[in-house]
Amino acid sequence: MEIIEIDMEDEEYPQRLLKIKNFPTKIYAKGNIELLNAKSIVGIVGTRKCTDYGRIVAREFAKELSKKGICIISGMAIGIDGIAHNVAIEQQGKTIAVLGSGLNHISPPENEWLFHKILENGGCIISEYPPDTESDKNKFPIRNRIISGISDGVLVVEAIHRSGSSITAKYAKAEGKQVFAIPSNIYSSAGIGTNRLIQEGAILVTKPEQILEYINDNKKALPNEKLPEEEQKAKEKGSLLIMPREYLPIYRAMSDKPIHINELTRKLKRPIQEINQIITMMELGGYIYQQKTNYFVRNEENIDFEEIR
């Protein structure tokens, strides 16, 4: 199976990934690249040295989410990651693996069988590294931002102290994604990370349905995607929205016809990360709307140009 090089400007590029600060400008993929922009994607991660409890929980959540059509993304590591991928395949579901090495250097080598099983069953495997890049332990924490970046939310099943799974959760939180965590035995070293995540604000979940309440067919907004209170009230009352000054250049570069975010970047000569951050806030505030993936249009109703902040 050939390796496909996908540039950030290609339609096949994971559009969710463009919304993180340090997204890769290109990725390399094998398999079903349509999954990279699947309707709903959930990351399931956890420790390599998982307990029987962790295995059971990972299997249950991966099974139920896959049955509901959710694509499972993980890092193809031994332990929780591998269980999540394998169960998704067993359910004839969708799964994406993100490697911390080039696609010609399968890592970890113990999971070479899983690498081939994912591809043989319609899954997708990606890496930001050129195909002949060898495995390096320093690359794995960095690749975790891609797992969280492509997902709609991340479930951490078990995590030891200072684990890669905890790093994935931190990336998810920084990227504005919802973090879900399984509560663990307070005396278990495998549960230190998840219990700490819950203390820090991750949503404690005990059944898959709790995740499905957040990530469903209609892509219901997550809690951190709610509009600021005053703007929400303004929308509810049908009153005018006062546009912040920093939004104006982007707003004026748009029209009533859809424009792609890459075209805005070229037009305004500003970094795509900066444009993307502002566009996200503009969309949440109701100043613009996304007609289709990464194509934006002005909302010319209820905007007060007289009282720009």
Q: Residue ranges per domain, the chain?
A: 4-212, 226-304
Rounded CA-CA distance 309/290 in Å is 24
CA dihedral 14, 62, 178, 48 (to 10 degrees): -90
pLDDT of 179-234, one tens digit each? Answer: 999 998 887 888 788 888 888 888 999 999 999 988 764 454 433 443 344 444 43
Rounded CA-CA distance 57/25 in Å is 35
CATH topology of domain 226-304: Arc Repressor Mutant, subunit A (1.10.10)
Total-model pTM: 0.69
Under-70 pLDDT residues of the chain: 161-162, 216-243, 284, 300-309
Query: What phi and psi, each to the nearest 5 degrees, are found at residue 186?
Result: -65, -15
What is the CATH code for 4-212? Answer: 3.40.50.450
Query: What phi and psi, each to the nearest 5 degrees, are found at residue 165?
Result: -65, -40
pLDDT of 234-250, one tens digit each? Answer: 334 344 456 677 788 88
Computed on alpha carbons and rounded to an integer, the radius of gyration of the chain in Å comes to 20
Rounded CA-CA distance 291/257 in Å is 9
Can you name the residues that pair with 295 across neighbouring β-strands? 260, 292
213, 277 in Cβ contact below 8 A?
A: no
